[in-house]
Amino acid sequence: MATPQRYTVTAALPYANGPVHIGHLAGCYLPADIYVRYLRQQGRDVQFICGTDEHGVAINLKAQAEGCSPKEIVDRYHEVIRKGLEGIGCSFDIFSRTSKAIHRETAQDFFTKLYEQGSLVEKTTEQYYDTQAESFLADRYIQGTCPNCGFEEAYGDQCESCGSSLSPMELKNPVSRLSGGRPERRETTHWFLPLDHLSGKIEQYIRAHGHWKPNVYGQCMSWLQSGDGLQARSMTRDLDWGVPVPLPQAEGKVLYVWFDAPIGYISATKELLGERWTDYWQREDTKLVHFIGKDNIVFHCITFPSMLMEHGDYHLPDEVPANEFLNLEGRKISTSRNWAVWLHEYVADFPGKEDALRYCLCANAPETKDNDFTWKDFQNRNNNELVAVLGNFVNRVLVLLNKYYDGKLPEVQAPTAAEEQLQKARRQAPDRVAAALERYRFREAQLAMMQLAREGNKYLTEEEPWKTQKTDPSRTEAIMHEAAQTAALLSQLMEPFLPFAAARLRGYLQLDLIPWEKLSDGDLLPAGHRVEKGDLLFEKVSDEAVEAQKQKLEEPAPAEEKHPPLKEEMDFETFTQQDLRVGTITAAEEMPKADKLLKLSVNLGFEQRTIVSGIRQHFDAAHLPGQRVTVVANLAPRKLRGVESQGMILMAENADGMLHFVAPPAEAENGAVVR
């Protein structure tokens, strides 16, 4: 594309079933905000679009678990998320929500266009419906007896015992894995986006963007070229929470959440701009940039572009600068285990230190690979870089200006070699920052900004105005003029990264935000200009604050009752059909070609069994012999990865996903009946 006339920048719509954490911020919202602030300073025409994604099954399930309506869930998290993101300085032009009427209309119009022009493939099938859970069941959520081999726990799509592929209707005695109840057959119709037919065009589109980051490009090509290639995807669901499918024959159906979510970008733009929204989505001279985390790559690079392509009126995404993931203190961020730094909590715990988090996350942004955030590093970055380098330089300048000149900027004088060096650094800094940002290299851009502060410190230390003040006061004037210009430029370059401190500094300097192209021109402050002494730009983070945050991480997850609902009642007869026995593991080895399976030998007293169990992630095979276990002994044998598994080991699973053996005490002999 030649120089774009305008920019549409989106940040992934956060899903409204929980708050946002620093991983989301580092991967998506922060880089997006930095980029947008920079574009605005450039005077470019840009709209920064975001909002919450409020549909889909997960929100339904969360509402059920908490005994409230989906609406209550999304209302709650919309606010938490919005406050967190805005609190950290994300400067959205709009932060909307997909539950709004304008979104429903936009998404429906989009669907209708695809439908009317025949882009969607309609398929009617008979599917199982769980009357208790009130939902249709995906193939995988149905279990029953295999018609070919009689295996009783075959899934709706495949029998794991004999390997034959099935359709749910072929199963005998189908059972819903959701409620455990017996599902009934109902006919249902869905509309599919034929990605399989579009794969040629999509591949062409991806190949035309070979400059995308390796992780993004590689992931896309992998999907295009893997095995069966792209599959037609259903764009509708049988559900009551979402955007209703705008067809008379589609009662009780909604658009698939991944169909409606990206359209949320479009509807939010409409809400913001009215008629003018088409400029930002349909004109070829607009640059469309999606900031996302790596989990969203396929949807933004393949599914969404396919939708836009089929629709026909739209410009396709130009850039998808997806980041990798951020770890926390060496471990993966985990929402369920509460191993996370929640954005809204940070904003509450560190008032006035919004920039510190922004700085640290940008410096450590997972641009090319997963990265680690530690509180110690956060403290170091804040204390040794923000405070010691940037804040300190600014403070030195403001203090000296006020001490010697009562805040009135002295006259310029003929530059010495030292001034020329600093002036050169000032001329180059805006270009360096800009060049890095244009390439989505945020760490490098922020470093270039900091480099100017280092130059400033070096200049002051070497020129020593506090000495010349005693020997040659006019020389001090020259030095302070130069130093002040450097602080002024910093107040501009800081803006994308550290907007809070930048605004404060501009306040002390009595300076407005200046268009980017004028930043390299020379002096930003005229001689005689008055500056205030101001306050410290940044404060240190104490050891105590760091310790407190680490402590907080160690606290167990808030006891949110997450126990799964009880299954359907069964009669005593059914219960007595299962034969549980005490056993002891005598040998354990890893199954080849499987990441989760262990092959166990179990002594049941009267016989030795081979049992394949999916617990490899949780236990080391070498430590298992001798482990006491409870075994379902009369379970039909089943082949897993070529090995017949003769029974099942009972495990207790905690809310955090950890597995624990249901181990009989030593007094219980092998083979003893459990009931």
Q: Do 583 and 630 touch, CB atoms closer than 8 A?
A: yes
Q: Give the Cβ contact number of residue 583 at 10 Å.
A: 29
Between 415 and 657, name the residue whose CB sits nearer to RNA. 657
Q: Give the span between the Cα atoms of 635 and 652, in whole angstroms.
A: 18
Shortest Cβ distance from residue 303 to RNA (Å)? Answer: 13
The neighbouring-strand residues paired with 238 are: 253
Sign of the four-CA dihedral 512, 513, 518, 521: positive
Sign of CA dihedral 81, 87, 88, 89: positive
Shortest Cβ 570–RNA spacing (Å): 18
The least CB distance from residue 595 to RNA, in Å, is 3
The DSSP symbol for 119 reads -
Query: Can you spell out the DSSP letters for 294-320?
Result: GGGHHIIIIIHHHHHHHH-SPPPP-B-
Q: Are 607 and 635 in contact (CB under 8 A)?
A: no
At closest approach, how far in Å is the CB of 579 from RNA?
Answer: 16
Cβ 659 to RNA shortest distance, Å: 5
Phi then psi for residue 238, to 5 deg, are -85, 105
Helix (H) or strand (E) holding 485: helix 473-493
- Tell me whether residue 308 or residue 400 sits nearer to RNA (CB atom): 400
Q: How far is the CB of 451 from RNA (least distance, A)?
A: 8
C-beta closer to RNA: residue 105 or 170: 170
Strand 154-155 to strand 142-145: parallel, antiparallel, or no bridges (unpaired)? antiparallel
Strands 253-255 and 236-238: antiparallel
Q: How far is the CB of 391 from RNA (least distance, A)?
A: 3
Closest CB to RNA among 461 and 551? Answer: 461
The minimum distance between CB 140 and RNA, in angstroms, equals 8
Give the C-alpha separation, 672 to 664, whole Å. Answer: 10
Please, which residues have CB within 8 angstroms of residue 181's CB and are 6 or more apart in sequence?
130, 131, 132, 133, 175, 568
> What is the C-alpha to C-alpha distance for residues 498 and 501, in angstroms, rounded to an integer?
6
Per the listing, tokens 């510190």 go with 356
Q: Closest approach of Cβ 591 to RNA, in Å? A: 7
The Cα-based distances of 614 to 42, 429, 617 in angstroms read: 55, 56, 8
Closest separation in Å from C-beta 49 to RNA: 25
For RNA, which is the closer residue by CB, 494 or 537? 537
- Return the number of the residue (7 or 223) whose C-beta is nearest RNA: 223
Q: Which is nearer to RNA, 283 or 458 (CB)?
A: 458
Least distance from RNA to the Cβ atom of residue 645, Å: 7
Helix (H, G, I), strand (E, B) or coil at 175: strand
Q: Let me know: does 431 contact 448? Beta carbons within 8 Å.
A: no
Query: Do the beta carbons of residue 493 and residue 477 sit within 8 Å?
Result: no
For RNA, which is the closer residue by CB, 474 or 617?
617
Nearer to RNA among residue 201 and residue 596 (C-beta): 596
Rg for the chain, CA atoms, rounded = 31
Please give the backbone phi and psi of residue 674, each rounded to the nearest 5 degrees, phi first.
-110, 125
Of 549 and 630, which CB lies nearer to RNA in the complex structure?
Answer: 630
Which residue, among 418, 319, 415, 388, has the nearest Cα to 4 in the 3D structure? Answer: 319
**By C-beta, is 44 or 325 nearer to RNA?**
325
